[in-house]
Amino acid sequence: MRVDLRSDTVSRPGPAMRKAMAEAEVGDVVFNDDPTVNRLEAVVAERLGFEAAMFVPTGTMSNQVALAAQTSPGDAVLMPAFSHVARWEGAGLAAISGAFAVHIPGESGLPGVSAFEAHHYGVHPKAPRVRGVSLENTHNWAGGRAYTSAQLSEVTTWARANGLFLHLDGARLMNAAIATGESAAALAKGFTTVSLCLSKGLGAPVGTCLAAPRALIGELDRWRQRLGGGWRQAGLLAAAGLYALEHHVDRLADDHARATALAELLVKYEVGTPLHPVETNIVQFAVNPRFGTSLSLVSRCIQRGVVFFPTGASTARLVTHLDVDDAMVRHVDEVFATL
């Protein structure tokens, strides 16, 4: 048995999703006549409480399109230091938009208002113009931390009071909704733009939707085109996204339960120590020094059919998803017991 815990991006479409893709009605997205894409965009907009949404190939493109459309060269965007936009998108904000990412420290992944205030330059000719705030929910590097609408509102209220736009990288927003018991729309409230990834926990093979006010869609579409995201018959992929939204949201609770079980196994067999409370489908952990490095532990587990991702010299990550079942968790139990 092989158990792949590297990421929830490794899941594969099942027969029912593949059937929906094969039967999808398609058109040309650039001409705005792909009915399945149009339907997906309408469904996402409604679920997130927005006027409109736009289908793009990847979460990274979605984030960068949103930020590019709302900044100018020389502007600054405030964001948690270990957010995906800050650390894992190839410095896209600088390279694409000519804007400056202000990294704000915070172990929980959601710095408090005082931290944002401390990094807001104000109006000064020698300082970057702070234009917006970018947040992430769930927060990958904080162990899949899910933030409630009340937690988010402290920062969003402050940002709006300061005239700043708000972008939410909701790559795993549906995980946050299941974990907090709130609707996705409640968690998206107050943001100017919200990115919802369909290819992570929801299990679609490709695609992200970017929700926004209708008045902003034209500029977002301009940036999508500039970055090579002018789809043609993308309804084949939009059909997978629609299927995921219809069938794979509630089951995210199973992923969360299995992640909690894996965290307990780490402690039970002294393999490692979780670095954050396990709230969703991600377990970030410190590797027990008896294994040497994280690479050493990963190598030993791979030989026994358990694959996961080293995040540092002494840290690693386990991620549950659609293709991980209870039998696989039991296999991990057996492997950890033999290390």
Taking the C-alpha atoms of residue 232 and residue 230, their distance in angstroms, rounded to an integer, is 7
The predicted pLDDT at position 109 comes to 92
Rg of the chain over Cα atoms, rounded to whole angstroms, equals: 20
Query: Any idea which residue has 């793009």 for tokens?
Result: 56
Which pLDDT band, with edges at 50, 70 and 90, does 107 fall under?
Answer: confident
Is the predicted pLDDT of residue 210 greater than 90, yes or no? yes
**What is the average pLDDT score of the chain?**
97
Return the structure tokens found at 188. 């998206």
The Cα–Cα gap between 211 and 55 comes to 9
In this prediction, residues 98-115 reach a mean pLDDT of: 93
Average pLDDT, integer, range 314-337: 98
**Percent of the chain residues past pLDDT 70, beyond the cut:** 100
Residue 254's Cβ-count burial label (10 Å; 0-12, 13-18, 19+) is: middle
Q: Cα 76–82–87 angle (5° rounding)?
A: 70
Tens-digit pLDDT profile for residues 123-176:
888 889 999 999 999 999 999 999 999 999 999 999 999 999 999 999 999 999
CATH T-level topology, domain 13-247:
Aspartate Aminotransferase; domain 2 (3.40.640)
Cα gap 274→189, rounded to integer Å: 31
For the domain made up of 251-338, give the CATH fold.
Answer: Aspartate Aminotransferase, domain 1 (3.90.1150)
Note the pLDDT of residue 27. 97
Q: Which helix (H) or strand (E) holds 103?
A: strand 100-104
Count Cβ neighbours within 10 Å for each residue of 38-48 and write b for 16 or more, e otherwise. Answer: bbbbebbbebb
Q: Where do the domains of the chain lie? A: 13-247, 251-338
Cα–Cα–Cα angle for 68, 71, 74, nearest 5°?
115
Task: Report helix angle 235-247 to 35-48, nearest 10.
Answer: 40
Bridge partners (DSSP) of residue 170 are 196
Rounded to 5°, angle at Cα 44 from 79 and 68: 35
Q: How far is CA 301 from the centre of its chain?
A: 26
Phi and psi angles of residue 304, each rounded to the nearest 5 degrees, phi first: -105, 10
CATH topology agreement for domains 13-247 and 251-338: no
For residues 261 and 263, give the distance between their C-alpha atoms in angstroms, rounded to a whole number: 5
Task: Look up residue 325 and give its DSSP letter.
Answer: -
Q: Which of 293, 288, 278 is closest to 336 using CA atoms? A: 288
- Do residues 117 and 158 lie in contact, with contact meaning Cβ atoms separated by under 8 Å? yes
- Pairwise CA distance, residues 45 & 153, whole Å: 20
Degrees, nearest 5: CA angle 55-211-37: 30
Using 50, 70 and 90 to split pLDDT, how confident is the model at 122?
confident
Distance CA 136, CA 195 (A): 9
Query: What would the pLDDT profile of 236-270 be if each residue is shown by its tens digit?
Result: 999 999 999 999 999 999 999 999 999 999 999 99
In this predicted structure, the answer to whether residue 191 has a pLDDT above a threshold of 90 is yes
Enumerate the β-bridge partners of residue 211. 53, 194
pTM of the model: 0.97
What is the token pair recorded at 92? 């896209």
At residue 107's C-alpha, the angle toward residues 324 and 61, to 5°, is 60
> Tell me, what amino acid is at 186?
A
Tens-place pLDDT, residues 2-28:
999 999 999 999 999 999 999 999 999
Percentages (nearest 5) of helix, strand, coil residues in the chain: 45, 20, 35
> What b/e string do you get for 122-132 counting C-beta neighbours within 10 Å, with b at 16 or more?
eeeeeeebbbb
Percent of the chain, pLDDT > 90?
97
